[in-house]
Structure 1
Amino acid sequence: MDAAEYANIAALETDHWYYSGKRRFVREWIQRVRPPGPNDLLLDCGAGTGSFAQEMERLCRVMVLDDHEEALRLLRTRFRPDQILSLAGDQVPLPDASLEYVTALDVLEHVPDDRAVVRGFHRLLKPGGLAVITVPASMALWSDWDVALHHFRRYDRPQLRALFPSAEWDVVHVNYTNVLVYPAVWGVRTWRKWRASSERPAATTARTEDTIPARPINALLRAQFVQLAHWPVPFPFGVSLILVARRRA
């Protein structure tokens, strides 16, 4: 992402319903499926500003990985040098089967070869180790926001599930999230596309993703995001996807 986008996320992520809700339900899934202990090691891939990893330090040991200098600059303000990794070529510089947890929160959409990244997760995890992945969903929602964040794609559920073959992974949960706000998000992004193509000055209007709603609305949006991220019934659509998988022996 561009430096401006990192600064934008850093300014929003503490309170914004999307970022705070995502961190919360990922922590809850980890604690539900494989509760961490103080000696367990978690690697947060594409750690960005480091907020999620910093929250997880209360539960286990953490390391953070990123390959963007702006992200690494932010991570150096929050973590010790021995906790911070950058890619060595296209490889994570850690031994095979060295981790109990790998997380990638809205990361796979940023890389050209997402299958290779998932193979790397499998290499790094111990048998029984847990991967928790979130990605943006539905190419119908593709917008200027995806372009600004340098996304290669948005996912549907079969596409994400196919990255984790049954011979190597036990997929515990995969489902859409942010289901209730899908119609509103689709409407806003469709309107923005129309404005951007109409040569109207309003085409440069600030993105709704860059603002925190009023406190009651923000709390309501966070609650639906968190609760539906645990829903056991498959949804037909959503703004985001979550996948939780154990590495097979």
Structure 2
Amino acid sequence: MDRAIYDRMAEIDGAHWWFVARRRIIATLIEQQARPRPGARILEVGCGTGSNIPMLQRYGTVDAIEPDDQARALTTARTGVAVKGGLLPDGVDLEDGAYDLIVLLDVLEHIPGDREALASLVPRLAPGGRILVTVPAAPWMWSAHDVAHHHQRRYTMAGAKRVFADSGLRVRHATHFNTVLFPLIAAARGLGKITGREGGDDAMPSPPVNRILEGLFAAERHWVGRHSLPFGVSIGLVAEPAA
């Protein structure tokens, strides 16, 4: 991603409704589907500016990878985690059989070889370990936001499951999320195409609006851990090695 995107993330990832609510959704998927053992070893691939690490540390000891030098330094300053550099599938030195949970949170869509990247992580799982991935959904929603964030693709549910199967993973649970706000976000993306708007959709709304959006999005945590929502702006998948 561009330097400006990382800088903007660092400014807003502690309070913006999307980041805050998404962390609550991810926590539910961890607790109800990934279910790491107490004191688990966890790896976050593509940790960005580190906003997910305190949440992940509730479930165990966290290691992290991030290719951007400045984001990596910021994450270490924020969290104390010594973040590794490098790029998947071949550019990161990771221990085999080490991790009870590996997470890629809106990361896979940035990687040209998504299958190769996922496949490279399978040997790093400990026995019984699982992988949790979130990605943007609905390819027809492709917009200036995706371009600004250097996305390679958006996923359909069927397409995401094929990527996992091709990578040697069996999907245990898959659901769309950010469903309640889907019509609003789809309309905003469509309007942006018509008007030729450029850049991402990461403006910080007023505090009252931010609280409302956070509450609507975060309410989905009551469903996503046990059920599969049929549509949404994002997809979440929890998987384990197929063999």
TM-score, length of structure 1 as denominator length: 0.86
Please give the secondary structure, in 1, of the residue aligned with 2:78.
coil
Aligned to 1:138: 138
Q: CA deviation at 1:91?
A: 3.8
Please give the secondary structure, in 1, of the residue aligned with 2:192.
helix
Aligned to 2:164: 164
User: Which deviates the most, 112-121 or 225-234?
Assistant: 225-234
Aligned to 1:199: none
Please give the secondary structure, in 2, of the residue aligned with 1:245.
strand
User: Number of residue pairs matched?
Assistant: 239
Aligned to 1:87: 86
Q: CA deviation at 1:75?
A: 2.1
Contact 1:137 1:238 in 2 (8 A): yes
Contact 2:25 2:220 in 1 (8 A): no
Unaligned runs of 5+ in 1: 197-202
Aligned to 2:217: 225
Aligned to 1:125: 125
User: Which deviates the most, 6-15 or 220-229?
Assistant: 220-229
Mapping for residues 86-125 of structure 1, pairs under 5 Å: 86-87=85-86, 90-125=90-125
Q: For 2:154 and 2:212, how far apart are their aligned partners in 1? A: 25
1:150 aligns with 2:150: yes
Aligned to 2:73: 73
Instruction: From the CA coordinates, give the structure whose radius of gyration is larger.
Output: 1
Which amino acid counterpart does residue 134 of structure 2 have in structure 1?
Answer: T
The superposition leaves residues 78-118 of structure 1 with CA deviations (integer Å, 9 ceiling, x where unpaired) of 3447x321227724311211111100000011010000111
Contact 2:53 2:79 in 1 (8 A): no
1:215 aligns with 2:207: yes
Aligned to 2:239: 245
Contact 1:127 1:248 in 2 (8 A): no
Q: CA deviation at 1:11?
A: 1.1
Q: CA deviation at 1:36?
A: 4.1
Q: CA deviation at 1:121?
A: 2.1
Mapping for residues 59-70 of structure 1, pairs under 5 Å: 59-70=59-70
Q: CA deviation at 1:134?
A: 0.5
Please give the secondary structure, in 2, of the residue aligned with 1:37.
coil
User: Which deviates the most, 215-224 or 174-183?
Assistant: 215-224
Aligned to 1:177: 177
Q: CA deviation at 1:235?
A: 3.6
TM-score, length of structure 2 as denominator length: 0.88
Q: For 2:111 and 2:167, how far apart are their aligned partners in 1? A: 24
Aligned to 1:37: 38
CA RMSD in angstroms comes to: 2.3
Please give the secondary structure, in 1, of the residue aligned with 2:150.
coil
